Amino acid sequence: MRAVNQVLNGWGNYTPCQSRVFRPERIRELFELMRNGDQEPSWIGRGLGRSYGDSALNPQGGTVLFERLDRLIDFDPQTGMVTCEAGVTFEALIRIFLQRGWFLSVTPGTKYITVGGAITSDIHGKNHHVDGTVSQFVESFDLLTGTGEVLTCSRSENTDAFWATVGGMGLTGLILRGRFRLLPVESAYLHVDFQRARNLDEAFALFQEGDQAYRYSVAWVDCLASGASLGRSVLMRGNHAAVAELPPRWRQSPSTVPLRRQHSVPFNFPDFALNPLCVKLFNALYYARNRDQQKIVDLDAFFYPLDALRHWNRMYGKRGFIQYQALFPPKSSRSGMIALLEAISRSRMASFLAVLKVTGAAGDGLLSFPKPGHTLALDLPNTGSRLRALIQRLDQIVLDHDGRLYLAKDATMSREAFSRMYERLDEFRRVKARLDPANRFVSAQARRLGIVEEG
């Protein structure tokens, strides 16, 4: 197969990378590519490139695109169990199955991701506090390992490969197919309670009181607020709406999301577009507009507000941005969050979006991100040395509070920080050494973090 030489990037456009890109259109072609081992010294799989950093980049070898491996293999309308190739997107799953009464069991804040990307990042959604990560709903997947074997991995078969791959950022091999459960829903709508919190303590208290009543819970935080308003936020919590709960005009076709016009950011914005004043104004307006209220909201508006603006990442200009997502355990989450928010607020580095969420029980993924506590995610535009200095301060705060950063977002962490945050790293390395003894699967991130030490 021919390679295309192309600059690829993470969603944050922060780490452009000249890549040799391959795109099999059938699983057989993928096998041939991998068997022909000398073609590239190493490989990494890539879905829709929605990870923000360098986890789906491999400048020193080949990159395998999964976008054309997008076939459904099986669907059981009784149980909602889907089997499909790894390149099937969440967007397609919704388009196909929502009308039949099924939704994703776990979804991130965009539907433009693949099944393979979801499994390898062990993604979490707004329902993590009750449902856990996506791997809770994955029955099995087929993994092509570094030794050329195809392993069917599940909780009862090749268990260690299962838990190393889930959250393992593509370093254990290529996921060919996945088998997972969908969630039965009555409609394409949710009823959502919007509630304002004047500061972080109020937000934490509201979360603690009410979260169990909601399948989905998240808060939007104004990162520029400071002092007594530090952590000022709007909580958005909801559940799937039954048809009977919908206003009459929606009951006709309850499983259809109303069409919205898609807008697109046509080119990279110039650097001044997101200046701190604009963002401050936006954030203040947002807080003012969202009075406490109950609303019926459609799936797209609730889960995927950013998808309405294609290429929204270009708003951050050519230099890109990073997304910083930290998680603190319960004992240090209040102090950690305060320290983090203070540092960000003081830095005056603009960020539209900061999302705060309570996380639930940890899964068994060796490098999976979520564990009990609170997580905060926000965008930081690339301002060069200023950004690097800020990140250094933030990383230190996270370490000091026993926190960790999410690999699907990370573009900047040091290997020392990483190994302190992920206590099961050595276990992961042992499984990887067995599945991929020659380190054929490597990403730019794996090299930076020393997950893979090349000979």
Partner 1 sequence: MSAHERGNGSGITLILGATSSIGKSLARRLAAEGRGLIVAGRDEPELRAIADDLKIRYQVPVRVLRYDATDFESHPAFFATCAAGEDGPLTGVVFCQGAMFDQAEAERDFALSRQMIDVNYTSAVSLLSLAAAHLARRGTGYLCALSSVAGDRGRQSNFLYGATKSALTTYLQGLRNRLARQGVAVITVKPGFVDTAMTWGLLKPGSPLVASPDQVARAIERAIRQQKDHVYAPWFWRWIMAIIKSIPEPIFKRMRL
Ligand X SMILES: Cc1cc2nc3c(=O)[nH]c(=O)nc-3n(C[C@H](O)[C@H](O)[C@H](O)COP(=O)(O)OP(=O)(O)OC[C@H]3O[C@@H](n4cnc5c(N)ncnc54)[C@H](O)[C@@H]3O)c2cc1C
Read off the tokens for 449.
Answer: 């973090």
C-alpha dihedral over 358, 360, 362, 365, to 10 degrees?
-70
Q: Which is nearer to ligand X, 45 or 363 (CB)?
A: 45
Number of residues in contact with ligand X, rule: CB under 6 A?
Answer: 33
Selected from 197, 391, 408, 452, the binder of ligand X by CB under 6 A is 408
Site for ligand X in 58-117 (CB under 6 A): 66, 86, 108-110, 113-114, 116-117
Q: How far apart are CA 238 and CA 342, in angstroms?
A: 29
CA distances from 206 to 209, 223, 312, 355, 401 (A): 5, 19, 31, 15, 23
- Is residue 49 close enough to count as binding ligand X by CB under 6 A? yes
3 binds partner 1 (CB under 8 A): yes
Residue 11 engages ligand X in binding (rule: CB under 6 A): yes
Nearer CB in complex with partner 1: 3/362: 3
**Using the rule CB under 6 A, is 48 a contact of ligand X?**
yes
Of the residues 24, 47, 146, 238, which one makes contact with ligand X according to CB under 6 A: 47
Burial class (CB in 10 A: 0-12, 13-18, 19+), 38: exposed
Strand partners, 355: 220, 377
Q: What string marks each residue from 304 to 343 as x (binds ligand X by CB under 6 A) or -?
A: --x-------------------------------------
Identity of the amino acid at 168: G
* Residue 36 in contact with partner 1, rule: CB under 8 A: no
The pairing of beta strand 174-181 with beta strand 138-144 = antiparallel
Q: Is 32 in the site for partner 1 (CB under 8 A)?
A: no
Q: Which does 56 bind (CB under 5 to 8 A by kind): ligand X, partner 1, none?
A: ligand X
Instruction: Give the torsion through C-alpha atoms of 321, 406, 226, 317, to 10 deg.
Output: 10
Count the Cβ atoms, other than its own, within 10 Å of residue 191: 18
Provide CB contacts within 8 A for 102, sequence distance 6+: 80, 182, 183, 184, 185
Q: Are 61 and 42 in contact, with CB atoms under 8 Å apart? A: yes
Of 243-302, binders to partner 1 (CB under 8 A) are none
- Report how far residue 326's alpha carbon sits from residue 331's, in angstroms, rounded to the nearest whole number: 15
Among 18, 26, 205, 242, binds partner 1 (CB under 8 A): 26
Give the contacts of 419 (CB within 8 A, at least 6 positions apart).
Answer: 425, 450
Question: Binders of partner 1 among 60-99, rule CB under 8 A?
Answer: 68, 71-75, 96
- Nearest partner of 10 among 341, 406, 451, 419, judged by Cα: 406
Look at residue 205 and give the partner it binds from partner 1, ligand X, none, a contact being a CB closer than 5 to 8 Å depending on partner kind: none
Residues 371-400 touching ligand X, rule: CB under 6 A, are none
Instruction: Compute the distance between CA of residue 74 and CA of residue 350 in angstroms, rounded to an integer.
Output: 46
Q: Which does 169 bind (CB under 5 to 8 A by kind): ligand X, partner 1, none?
A: ligand X
Q: Does 6 bind partner 1 (CB under 8 A)?
A: yes
Using CB under 6 A as the binding rule, whether residue 153 contacts ligand X is answered as no
65 contacts 23 by C-beta, under 8 angstroms: yes
Among 13, 15, 19, 23, binds partner 1 (CB under 8 A): 23
| By the rule CB under 6 A, 417 interacts with ligand X | no
Q: Is 192 in the site for ligand X (CB under 6 A)?
A: no
Considering the rule CB under 8 A, would residue 155 count as an interface residue with partner 1? Answer: no
Instruction: Tell me if 56 contacts ligand X by CB under 6 A.
Output: yes
CB atoms under 10 Å from CB of 205, counted, come to 11
Stretch that binds partner 1, among 3-11, 191-199, 426-434, 438-446 (CB under 8 A): 3-11
Residues found near ligand X in the complex (CB under 6 A): 11, 44-51, 55-56, 66, 86, 108-110, 113-114, 116-118, 120-121, 123-125, 169-170, 174-175, 306, 408, 443
In the complex, the residues that contact partner 1 under the rule CB under 8 A are 1-4, 6, 23, 25-28, 68, 71-75, 96
